[in-house]
């Protein structure tokens, strides 16, 4: 099992550009999550999904969009990149509601 994979590892964006952060898991987990981690801070939940076709907002959803058409993939879309979105983004998956989350290696995003 590859677990949770994320691409790209690192990206530099100009203000106003858009991009999609990719996330895939091969564990057949129902729950998937996107977090951002700013320097010296904890993980803030952006969006999450409890199954294919179902998504919901987390703590910091503004400026992001998600979709979940299959169990395996949960891409995160940034439409108009802003410097405040400079962060490290982690995708995670979980088999159930109160279960351990498995994290990907992260995508480091720099918006200039």
Partner 1 sequence: DQQVKQNSPSLSVQEGRISILNCDYTNSMFDYFLWYKKYPAEGPTFLISISSIKDKNEDGRFTVFLNKSAKHLSLHIVPSQPGDSAVYFCAASGGTNAGKSTFGDGTTLTVKP
Interacting residues toward partner 1 by CB under 8 A: 4, 31, 33, 35, 40-45, 48, 50, 58-59, 90, 92, 94, 97-98, 100-106
Q: Taking the CA of residue 38 as centre, how many other CA atoms within 13 Å lie in the half-sphere pointing to its CB?
A: 9
What counts of helices (H) and strands (E) characterise the chain? 0, 11
* Distance of closest approach, residue 90 Cβ to partner 1, in angstroms: 5
| CA–CA–CA angle 91, 97, 98 (5° rounding) | 100
Confirm if 34 and 48 have CB atoms less than 8 A apart.
yes
Instruction: Select 18 or 100, whichever has its Cβ closest to partner 1.
Output: 100
* Distance of closest approach, residue 52 Cβ to partner 1, in angstroms: 16
* Distance of closest approach, residue 111 Cβ to partner 1, in angstroms: 20
């Amino acid at each position: 099992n590859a677990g949770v994979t994320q691409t790209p590892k690192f990206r530099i964006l100009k203000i106003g550009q858009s991009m999609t952060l990719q996330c895939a898991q091969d564990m057949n987990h129902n729950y998937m999550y996107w977090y951002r981690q700013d320097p010296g801070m904890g993980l803030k939940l952006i969006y999450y999904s409890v199954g294919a076709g179902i998504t919901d907002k987390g703590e910091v959803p503004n400026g992001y969009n998600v979709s979940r058409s299959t169990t395996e993939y949960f891409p995160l879309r940034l439409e108009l990149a802003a410097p405040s979105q400079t962060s490290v983004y982690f995708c995670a998956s979980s088999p159930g509601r109160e279960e351990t989350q498995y994290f990907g290696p992260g995508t480091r995003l720099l918006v200039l």
